């Protein structure tokens, strides 16, 4: 790390476990597909565990006060690991970091492979938040994306987790998948609401076959078109809000007593590369292949593959990719985060905080915003940009993009290209 932390903020640790047993065709994560019983797999998992322990030791030693308030295991499939492997990593975490008493231990689980016994073991280790990849319950959709998991299997995991004392259960759902219709989505939403998760992430499928080659198995004719996709999103908003969930940020729903809803009410909601968060993770340390650290105005990314990453810990630590934000980046990050989280931003307050004349500073950005103002999707008044109506609410990314200094200027004349447009909403 290039700088020592000066903040008293507790750290957030993110661990990336890059193994999965089979490939889901919508996947955009960094992973390698392996059979658990294979000899090569055993060697590669050992390499991961060894590298993680080394990375924990090296990073913790560089900190003056390594106090941890949030730990998240993602992937890939964290529950690919055996109990022995879990014990080994969590022991290293406890040895090298001071864990807050109310530290949130969270992990992503695959309902197809995790067992009630596994959950009991993870609970004993200290985990209390679970995130389940559900995506869609319709069989035809599940077959098309190569991820078959019954409603009953998810229900068993949810019921067991509650009995064991897990305090928060999150579902990840995706819309825009092949064969999704309003009727099938309605049925999935009914099943989701029956299971009563505390929090739901409702993501739009990013179709980028030029990057995610396995998405070439999707036929264009089977994917919901723009207006159908919008109808699926509207259906989810209607069903979830009627069921008592709050619509949060770009794409999350949470019960009013969930920490995300609390963060929205108390204005400490943030968005980072893991999605909407409750603001406890300003300082993030990433571990494992491809993991990102945020510190807080410099981002670091570990090498993407297990081979590249693990060589860092056998040769010499220190050559991760990094990007330090300029003051303009910091200002625009705050601005864009405000729009993503709350749907409005005060340019005037930003000008006061960072000592600039906001009308001059954002002159070009406000010109780019004009089309959206004319179309009634946003309003600009007294130095404040505010989304307007439901469509403005759904197009927060587009409103924020007017202030994104890294988008090419001609994008605002021609509209968003297809790969960017697929991520809007």
- Taking CB under 6 A as the rule, does residue 27 contact ligand SF4? yes
Q: What's the min distance (Å) between Cβ of 74 and ligand SF4?
A: 9
Cα torsion 261, 263, 264, 266 to 10°: value is 120
CA dist 135 and 121 (Å) reads 26
- Out of 51, 69, 133, 178, the only residue in the binding site for ligand SF4 (CB under 6 A) is 133
Smallest gap from Cβ 289 to ligand SF4, in A, equals: 12
Cβ(375)–Cβ(369) under 8 Å? no
- State which residue, 97 or 171, has the beta carbon closest to ligand SF4: 171
| Binding-site member from 76, 197, 224, 343 for ligand SF4 (CB under 6 A) | 76
Among 29, 208, 243, 320, binds ligand SF4 (CB under 6 A): 29
The yes or no reply on residue 31 touching ligand SF4 (CB under 6 A) is yes
Residues 324-363 that bind ligand SF4 (CB under 6 A): none
| Total length of the chain | 425
H-helix or E-strand containing 134? strand 129-135
163: how many CB neighbours lie within 10 A of its CB?
12
Is residue 75 at the binding interface for ligand SF4, with CB under 6 A as the rule?
Answer: yes
Contact at 8 Å (CB) between 338 and 403?
A: no
Q: In the window 231-270, what residues touch ligand SF4 (CB under 6 A)?
A: none
CA 8, distance to chain mean position in Å, is: 24
110 near ligand SF4, rule: CB under 6 A: yes
Q: Which stretch binds ligand SF4 (CB under 6 A): 17-25, 193-201, 271-279, 296-304?
A: 17-25
Radius of gyration of the chain (CA): 22
- State how far the alpha carbon of 326 is from the alpha carbons of 7, 272, 323, 359, 386, in Å: 19, 18, 9, 20, 26
Concatenating the DSSP letter of every residue in 279-327 gives S--SEEEEESTT-EEE-SSEEEE--SSHHHHHHHHHT-S---EEEEPPH
Q: Which is nearer to ligand SF4, 25 or 342 (CB)?
A: 25
In whole angstroms, the minimum distance from the beta carbon of 278 to ligand SF4 comes to 23
The C-alpha atoms of residue 86 and residue 69 are separated, in whole angstroms, by 19
CB of 109 to ligand SF4, least distance (A): 10
We find the least distance from the C-beta atom of residue 148 to ligand SF4, in angstroms, to be 12
Binding span for ligand SF4 by CB under 6 A among 51-59, 74-82, 304-312, 411-419: 74-82
- Is 23 a binding residue for ligand SF4 by CB under 6 A? The answer is yes
Write down the least CB distance from residue 76 to ligand SF4, Å.
Answer: 5
Q: What is the number of other CB atoms lying within 10 angstroms of the CB of residue 290?
A: 19
User: How many chain residues touch ligand SF4 (CB under 6 A)?
Assistant: 11
Residue 311 tokens read as 């060589």
The SS3 assignment for 138 reads coil
Name the residues that contact ligand SF4, by CB under 6 A: 20, 23-24, 27, 29, 31, 75-77, 110, 133
């Amino acid at each position: 790390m290039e700088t020592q932390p000066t903040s008293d903020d507790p750290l957030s640790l993110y661990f990336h476990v890059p193994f999965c047993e089979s490939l889901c065709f919508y996947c955009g994560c960094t992973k390698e597909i392996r059979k658990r019983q294979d000899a090569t797999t055993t060697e590669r998992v050992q390499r991961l565990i060894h590298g993680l322990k080394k990375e924990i030791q090296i990073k913790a030693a560089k900190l003056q006060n390594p106090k941890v308030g949030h730990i998240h295991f993602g992937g890939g499939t964290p529950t690919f690991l055996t109990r022995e492997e879990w014990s080994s990593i969590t022991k290293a975490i406890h040895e090298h970091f001071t864990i807050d008493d109310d530290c949130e231990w969270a992990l992503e689980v695959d309902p197809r492979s995790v067992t009630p016994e596994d959950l009991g073991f993870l609970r004993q280790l200290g985990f209390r938040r679970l995130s389940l990849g559900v995506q869609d319950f319709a069989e035809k959709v599940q077959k098309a994306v190569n991820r078959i998991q019954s409603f009953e299997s998810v229900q068993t995991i949810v019921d067991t987790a509650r009995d064991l004392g897990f305090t928060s259960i999150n579902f990840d759902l995706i819309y825009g998948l092949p064969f999704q219709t309003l009727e099938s989505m309605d049925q999935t939403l009914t099943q989701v609401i029956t299971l009563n998760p505390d929090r739901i992430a409702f993501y739009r499928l990013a179709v980028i076959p030029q990057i995610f080659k396995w998405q070439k198995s999707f036929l264009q004719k089977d994917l919901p078109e723009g207006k159908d996709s919008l109808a699926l999103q509207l259906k989810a908003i209607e069903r979830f809000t009627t069921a008592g969930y709050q619509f949060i940020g770009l794409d999350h729903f949470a019960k009013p007593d969930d920490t995300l809803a609390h963060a929205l009410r108390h204005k400490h909601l943030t968005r980072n590369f893991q999605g909407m968060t409750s603001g406890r993770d300003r300082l993030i340390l990433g571990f494992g292949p491809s993991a990102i650290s945020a510190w807080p105005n410099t981002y670091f990314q570990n090498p993407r593959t297990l081979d590249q990453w693990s060589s860092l810990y056998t040769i010499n630590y220190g050559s991760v990719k990094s990007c330090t934000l300029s003051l303009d980046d910091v200002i625009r990050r705050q601005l864009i985060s405000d729009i993503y989280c709350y749907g409005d931003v005060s340019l005037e307050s930003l000008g006061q905080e960072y000592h600039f004349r906001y009308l001059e500073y954002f002159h070009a950005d406000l010109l780019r915003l004009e089309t959206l103002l004319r179309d009634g999707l946003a309003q600009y008044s007294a130095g404040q940009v505010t989304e307007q109506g439901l469509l403005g609410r759904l197009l927060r990314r587009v409103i924020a993009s007017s202030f994104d200094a890294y988008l090419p200027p001609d994008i605002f004349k021609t509209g968003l290209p297809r790969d960017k447009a697929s991520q809007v909403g």
